[in-house]
Every structure is written in C-alpha cells, then in structure tokens.
C-alpha cells in the first residue's frame, strides 16, 4: 500500500491540516480547536493520536544525539545526525523489538553498537531459551549486549560526545537511542472524557466506537480485544492500526464492519534470525484464568540433509482443555511461518491434539515430514 500524500487527499475533497495540533476538543459544541486558533466543526471525531516513545527518567536525555524512534520524522532525524556527525558508536537503551531492529540497522551501517538492558536477555516476550539464540546472533554480528544495566544518567563524553552512566560502568558514544517502549497518547481523550481502559489506552467496542457517541478511536492510542485472554489490550503495531482504521471508516461510512480482535501475533528480524510470537505466555495465561502448561522444542526448519536451519518453538496450552494459548519461535528460517500458522490455529481456538495432526505443506526445503509444529504439539500432549 502506498501512503497518500496530503495533496492526494485534498484532491478527493478531504481537508488535511499538517504541522498543527489539536489543543482541545469541545465535545458538546462538536468542534476541535487547533493551535492556529482555528476551530473546526465535526459530526464524527476519530481519535488516531497514536503512541509516543517512553522517556526514561534520566538526567541528560535532552542532550543532542539522544533519540527515540517512533515515526518517520524520528528516523529521518537519526539518519541525518548519523551522517552529519559521522557517527562511529551508538548505544541503545532497551532490548525490545525496536532495539533489536535498530541494532541490526546501525551495525549494518558500520556503527559499533552497544545495547544496555535491565534484564539478562533481549526480547522479554520470548522464553529465555529462545532469547539466548537472539543474544548469540547479536554477538555474532558484533553488537555488544550489556545485561543487568540500569542506566542512571547521560553525560558529555570525553572521546565521544555522549556518555551513558550505568551500574555497569560508563560507555561513550556518538548517539544514544532510548528504546524502552511506547505509551498511548490519551491526554486529549481524557479531556473529552472518553473511557480509558486498564491498559491505559482508549476503550473501544468492536466497531471502534469509544464511550462517547460519534467518537471513534483507532490504532496505537486504543485498545484491541484479545481473542485468547478475552481482555482488552493495547498492542501498538501497524497492521492492527490499519485494520482498525478500515473498520472505523466502514462504520462511519455506513457499511458496518466488526474488528474481530487480535491474537497478539508479532515478528521481527535480527540479522539471520527470525523471531515471532503469538497468543499469550504463561504469566498472562494465569492472569486470564487458564491453567498454563508449556514446552519448548528445538528442531530444523527444513529437512536435515539440506543443511541446518535451527529453530526453537515454544507452545503454551491450557492444561485442562488442551487449548493452544500461545507460541514463540526463533529460528534461522521458518519462525514467522510457524507463528502465522499457529496464529490462525489460536484464532480458531484449536487444541493441541488437532494441531499435532494439521495438514501443512510439506517439502524438504520448508519442513520435515513431521513439522516442528507437530512435534511440539505432540510433546506438549505427552507432557500434559
């Protein structure tokens, strides 16, 4: 899909106001007040305020060279800075999927990159055994990973412009990227009096309607119904935002459509590795009143005689019903493919006995005759 330019929108009669800001919403009067003091009337209001990068409470984060990455403008700023300052060293604070993807991008651009992370392993969502493979891949590609690092301040450096202070010592760099998560932008929503869910994002129904009539919300600023936990969640991912946008548009335009919810599918690439996950983990499962049991199996994403494409797959199921609750995979091939198949299985509320005998497209280049999905489901059944 190609994003439309403001001009394209204007050609279709849609008024696009850029470089402005909605200062307030007069819900009763049905107008929004812009920064340039212009008031715009509305019949229907769509909140698509997105999310913003979390800023850790660190002295020095206002220094030039300290960045967050949430949108295209951020990316352009970082790229410009990297080029203008001829950067050689970067520090990333955090180890989620944005940190992982940026470590690859920076390293590939010839910039020596160090990750400072509070935890022991990258990618919290993945099981430690799988995260170890990600850690190895970071190291094999020259990215330094410093675990148990509580960053305390950013100061000026001696050899480089910046210095990150942490309980693991001082590290200098040209650039510091703060990648410790995002939070939904709900200030305006709160002012209007929209209901904010437990997740901190705007509560919506399956038509993307908020608690106030004629006000919709879509994307990173709102919640989604999680089909596995049966709870509203805030998952700030572009594919979900796209779907919600279309659902809201259809409902506003008079062609009703329901947003069916999410199962929590997610993926990223890290050098030669694929990481993907779906559903919920043991902790989330317990909170959702399931009785979780899990297994992690290692295998080859293809037939062994064709080479080694190591893959690890973890399945989480409900012990009582055998129902699949979640899956996590990391591998040199096929991890995303497996997680997508299992996302559909989650969507359809399949149990592991059914998954153990699913008909998948077998070919030596893409799987074994027993796929790792089958092996994992059968192993989990034996474990139960």
Number of residues in contact with a copy of itself, rule: CB under 8 A? 51
Judged by CB under 8 A, which of 32, 278, 309, 326 binds a copy of itself?
Answer: 278
Q: Which is nearer to a copy of itself, 141 or 267 (CB)?
A: 267
Judged by CB under 8 A, which of 20, 83, 108, 363 binds a copy of itself?
Answer: 363
Instruction: Give the x/- contact pattern for a copy of itself in 255-274, rule: CB under 8 A.
Output: ----xxxxxxxxxxx----x
Question: At its nearest, how many Å lie between a copy of itself and the CB of residue 372?
Answer: 11
**Contact flag: residue 87 with a copy of itself (CB under 8 A):** no
**Contact flag: residue 332 with a copy of itself (CB under 8 A):** no
Q: Which is nearer to a copy of itself, 91 or 372 (CB)?
A: 372
Contact 252, 42 (CB under 8 A): no
Q: Which is nearer to a copy of itself, 291 or 363 (CB)?
A: 363
The number of angstroms, rounded, from the C-alpha of 308 to the middle of its chain's C-alpha atoms is: 29
Instruction: Give the x/- contact pattern for a copy of itself in 223-242, rule: CB under 8 A.
Output: ----x---------xxxxxx
Q: Give the C-alpha distances (Å, rounded to integers) separating 51 from 68, 180, 181, 182, 222.
A: 12, 13, 10, 6, 9
Q: Which is nearer to a copy of itself, 294 or 341 (CB)?
A: 341
Q: What is the arrangement of strands in the sheet containing 266-270, beginning at the earlier edge strand?
A: 266-270, 273-279, 324-331, 310-318, 292-300
**Stretch of 47-55, 175-183, 186-194, 363-371 contacting a copy of itself, by CB under 8 A:** 363-371
**Contact flag: residue 365 with a copy of itself (CB under 8 A):** yes
**Contact flag: residue 294 with a copy of itself (CB under 8 A):** no
Measured over the CA atoms of residue 344, residue 346, residue 350 and residue 352, the dihedral's sign is: positive
Residues that bind a copy of itself (CB under 8 A): 1, 227, 237-243, 259-269, 274, 276-278, 334, 336-337, 339-345, 347-348, 350, 354, 357-363, 365-366, 368-371
């Amino acid at each position: 899909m190609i994003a439309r330019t403001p001009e394209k929108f204007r050609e279709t009669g849609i008024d696009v106001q850029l470089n402005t800001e909605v200062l307030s919403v007069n819900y009763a009067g049905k107008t929004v007040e812009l920064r340039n003091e212009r008031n715009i009337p509305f019949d229907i209001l769509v909140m698509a305020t997105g999310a913003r990068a979390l800023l850790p409470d660190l002295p020095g984060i206002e220094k030039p060279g300290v960045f967050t990455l949430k949108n295209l403008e951020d990316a352009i700023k970082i790229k410009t800075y990297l080029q203008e300052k001829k950067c050689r060293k970067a520090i990333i604070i955090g180890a989620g999927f944005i940190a992982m993807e940026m470590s690859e991008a920076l390293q590939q651009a010839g910039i020596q990159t160090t990750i400072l992370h509070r935890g022991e392993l990258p990618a919290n969502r993945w099981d430690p055994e799988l995260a170890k493979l990600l850690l190895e891949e970071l190291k094999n590609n020259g990215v330094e990973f410093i675990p148990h690092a509580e960053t305390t301040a950013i100061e000026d450096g001696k050899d480089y412009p910046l210095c990150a202070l942490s309980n693991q010592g001082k590290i200098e760099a040209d650039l510091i990227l703060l990648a410790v998560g995002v939070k939904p932008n709900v200030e305006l929503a709160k002012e209007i009096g929209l209901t904010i869910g437990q997740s901190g994002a705007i509560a919506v129904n399956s038509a993307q309607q908020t608690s106030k009539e004629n006000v919709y919300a879509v994307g990173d600023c709102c919640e989604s119904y999680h089909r596995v936990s049966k709870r509203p969640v805030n998952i700030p991912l572009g594919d979900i935002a796209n779907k919600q946008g279309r659902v809201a548009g259809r409902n506003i335009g008079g062609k009703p459509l329901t947003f069916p919810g999410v199962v929590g599918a997610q993926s990223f690439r890290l050098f030669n590795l694929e990481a993907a996950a779906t559903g919920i983990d043991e902790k989330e499962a317990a909170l959702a009143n399931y009785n979780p049991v899990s297994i992690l199996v290692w295998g080859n994403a293809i037939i062994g005689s064709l080479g080694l494409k190591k893959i690890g797959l973890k399945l989480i199921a409900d012990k009582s019903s055998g129902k699949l609750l979640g899956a996590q995979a990391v591998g040199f091939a096929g991890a995303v493919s497996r997680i997508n198949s299992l996302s559909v299985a989650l969507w359809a509320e399949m149990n592991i006995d059914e998954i153990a005998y699913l008909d998948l497209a077998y070919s030596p280049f893409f799987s074994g005759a027993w796929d790792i999905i089958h092996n994992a489901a059968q192993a989990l059944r034996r474990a139960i």
